[in-house]
Amino acid sequence: MLTVLGEAVIDLLPTDTHGGFKAHPGGSPLNVAIALARLGEPTTLLARFSRHAFGRMLHMHADRNGVTVTGPMEQPEPASLAVVSLDPDGVAEYDFYLEGTVDWRWRPAELTVPVGTTMLHTGSLTCLRQPGATEVTSFLTRLRQDGELLLSFDPNIRPTAGGALAETRQQVTKLVSTAHVVKASAEDLHALYPGESVTSIGRHWATLGPTLVVVTRGAEGALAIHGDQEVRRAAPPIEVVDTVGAGDAFTAGLLSALRSSGHGTPAALHDLRHDQIEAVVDRAIQVASLTCTRAGADAPHLADL
């Protein structure tokens, strides 16, 4: 089983009329969990859910898509909100409403690995926003030391969500060192290390603990770094509706491809050959590309690939 740890957020997407917004379930970890389940992977989401209307909406969305939900339920705090703006090319930007919301209040007793988990993915604001980020980091550090699970991390940097750059960079570095697989976007790396090249940052991260580092580059495809191997894969030409959830779909495609190819454990991950890296990255690009042809975070099902 794959477990995803992190937030479930309401995305308010613009409608076509009168400048209004429509609520959609979102948040990077929830999107990854949904995409994994649609790819046929048995998936659990470890999250904190509000007892109010938006919290119920998020829980129901996970249930409808075959994701098992665990973690603190019926919490008194409200759900987190992200207001989405789309530029003329369909690229999404986010304004967040996060103060006092349910997702960032993790306690040590709430952070337990569901029985049967072999891969655990996390990332985004859950790993960066206090007070819960410290507990999540300690939890991941212990899991890495135990060595039993394959750990995956996506920083998914959101500059509009606040936080000093130096502190964010330090926290991301800690989390990169706990993971076996790190996926990040070129935008993440530019936000963290302005002026530095994506390749040099990826190479540096690969020395901190991960076995596989993958950097997505939008229409230019993706770069994968595995030991001394560097693999670049192109993205197909597509007609983009929007990019909401595309990075999360890529992560799900990558993890699903690693598991199905027999490289879903820390030991097996070391044995990836060049052609196998190409195959898993190509699958991740395919899943993300299909998501970009749909409105919102609407990842494809296995039959769509």
Query: Whose CA is closest to 124, among 65, 184, 81?
Result: 184
Its domain, for residue 89, covers: 2-304
Q: In the predicted model, what is the mean pLDDT of residues 153-161? A: 86
Between these two residues, 89 and 153, which has the higher pLDDT value?
153
pLDDT at residue 17, rounded to an integer:
67
Strand intervals (E) in 148-253: 150-154, 181-185, 212-216, 222-226, 229-233
Query: Whose CA is closest to 299, among 270, 256, 235?
Result: 256
Domains identified in the chain, total number: 1
Torsion region of 187: left, alpha or beta (phi above 0 gives left; psi -120 to 50 gives alpha):
alpha
Q: How far is CA 282 from CA 16, 72, 236, 248, 285, in A?
A: 34, 36, 10, 15, 5
The predicted model scores a pTM of 0.94
CATH assignment of the domain containing 226: 3.40.1190.20
Q: In the predicted model, what is the mean pLDDT of residues 154-166? A: 83
pLDDT at residue 191, rounded to an integer:
93
Using one digit for the tens of pLDDT, what is the confidence trace for 2-34?
A: 999 999 999 888 887 677 888 989 999 999 999
In contact, 62 and 69? CB cutoff 8 Å? yes
Backbone angles phi, psi at 177, to 5 degrees: -70, -20
Q: Which two tokens stand for residue 18?
A: 């009168």
